[in-house]
Structure 1
């Protein structure tokens, strides 16, 4: 479920967080981001961790495919209710992700479908120098 841009003033509203990874322009950094996410959120239940890692992977992949650098990932976990917020910021204000229907024969364009299915809420926030795409993933099973 997306939230419109005009309802949000800043991605910091969602992810003023704590854990930040500055993305390297080399796509090989994606593997390092996955390992960092796994380490940062090690206390999540395995099923929830996998869901968060999928969302991180899709949002970061979109930066490599469609956006401009510099870019960063922010992770924030709140306890009550248990939510993990992922925000991926980039320097491209023009490429706004749009959820579109996907054909069963499509090879690409499933990333936002995955983000939409796994997230309680997601959206895009315009920033002074780009945008932030964020998603909130529930984590009720946390150990």
Structure 2
């Protein structure tokens, strides 16, 4: 893996998620290595959104799974994309896993400038875009 290059207006790095349990610590480390140019607050927000989206892909989706980071220097955003092979709908604010769950998408909604779901024949991609200062786009 190489760090995201700010000279490329839209650089993408990807990480396949082959494990049976979510490798959250490894995903957070990977994101920190890729997003070296962000401020600490921007990086914390990105890692939190990545954690929530990857956790949802494991809790509610099926494999294969992958996570991508796409940085756009000209737009000043980091786009986080998490794929899984399930076509199931997302539930905002509720979880089938119990009453103490279900806040992941609420957190994503509060931190991301915009987010959504793209369906495709192999499942879905849940994405979120977080703003980052133009001078802090990863490099």
TM-score range, shorter chain: 0.7 to 0.9
Q: Deviations over 1:26-52 (max 9, x none)?
A: 325221111000100011111000000
- Could you tell me the TM-score, scaled by structure 2's length? 0.82
Matched residue SS, 2:106: helix
Tell me how far apart the structure 2 counterparts of residues 17 and 43 of structure 1 sit (CA, whole Å): 13
Does 2:98 correspond to 1:99? no
- Structure 1 residues 101 and 69, CA gap change in structure 2 (3 angstroms): closer
Match of 2:127 in 1: 134
- Structure of greater relative contact order (alpha carbons < 8 Å, 6+ residues apart): 1
Q: 2:103 aligns with which of 110, 114, 120?
A: 110
Match of 1:67 in 2: 61
Structure 2: 5+ residue runs without aligned partners? 1-9
- Could you tell me the TM-score, scaled by structure 1's length? 0.80
- Structure 1 residues 125 and 97, CA gap change in structure 2 (3 angstroms): same
Bigger drift between 64-73 and 106-115 goes to 106-115
Tell me how far apart the structure 2 counterparts of residues 28 and 110 of structure 1 sit (CA, whole Å): 18
